[in-house]
Amino acid sequence: MGTSMAIRDRFSKKLNCPQCGNEGFAEASEIDDPKRKHPDFKVDQLPRGFGVQRPSNHQESFMLKCECGRKFPFRSLAEAAAERR
């Protein structure tokens, strides 16, 4: 059996709940290979107060849940946090 030598692209994203202000950094990774149909996106570590609502192979549909009850896609808040300066 051949072993896949796909490299995982690892990155940190700042999460910020728009409802209660809970924030922290999530560690995530996905396979860095544009030919793959599924990037195998995973959240490796979440800050206190955040949990996984619905896992997904794609950042766009990976849903998080804050302890206050607010649910949101990983990608949306990560992009919003990156835009702030």
In order along its 85 residues, the chain shows pLDDT tens digits of 445 567 899 999 999 998 999 999 999 999 988 888 889 999 999 999 999 999 999 988 999 999 999 998 888 644 444 444 4
* pLDDT (0 to 100) of residue 67: 97
Across the beta sheet with 42-45, the strand order is 8-16, 23-31, 42-45
**Which residue range forms the structural domain that includes residue 38?**
5-78
Structure-token match 């570590």, residue found: 45
Rounded to two decimals, the pTM is: 0.76
The verdict on residue 35 lying in a domain is yes
The verdict on residue 44 lying in a domain is yes
The verdict on residue 60 lying in a domain is yes
What total number of domains does the chain contain? 1
The verdict on residue 30 lying in a domain is yes
The verdict on residue 38 lying in a domain is yes
Q: How many CA atoms lie within 13 A of 67 on its CB side?
A: 9
* pLDDT (0 to 100) of residue 80: 45
